[in-house]
Amino acid sequence: IVPALSHGGLTIEFECTKPDLWNKQNSTLVARFKNTTDAPIYGLNFQCAVPKYVTMEMKPPTSTTVPVTAGNNKLVTQTINIVNSKQGTKNLQLKLKVGFTSKGTKIDHIATCSGFPTGEY
The domains of the chain, with CATH numbers, are 2-113 (2.60.40.1230)
In this prediction, residue 84 carries a pLDDT of: 93
Q: What is the CA radius of gyration of the chain?
A: 15
Predicted TM-score (pTM) of the model is: 0.90
105: Cβ–Cβ under 8 A, 6 or more apart, which residues?
8
**How would DSSP label each residue in the chain?**
-EEEEEETTEEEEEEEE-S-TT-TTEEEEEEEEEE-SSS-EEEEEEEEE--TTEEEEEPPPS-S-B----TTPPPEEEEEEEEETTTTTS---EEEEEEEEETTEEEEEEEEE--SPTTT-
**pLDDT for 70 beyond 70:** no
Q: State the average pLDDT over residues 39-55.
A: 95
Nearest-angstrom CA–CA distance, 84 and 56: 9
Q: Please, which pLDDT band fits residue 91 given cuts at 50, 70 and 90?
A: confident
**In the predicted structure, residue 63 carries a pLDDT above the cut 70:** yes
Rounded mean pLDDT of the chain?
A: 92
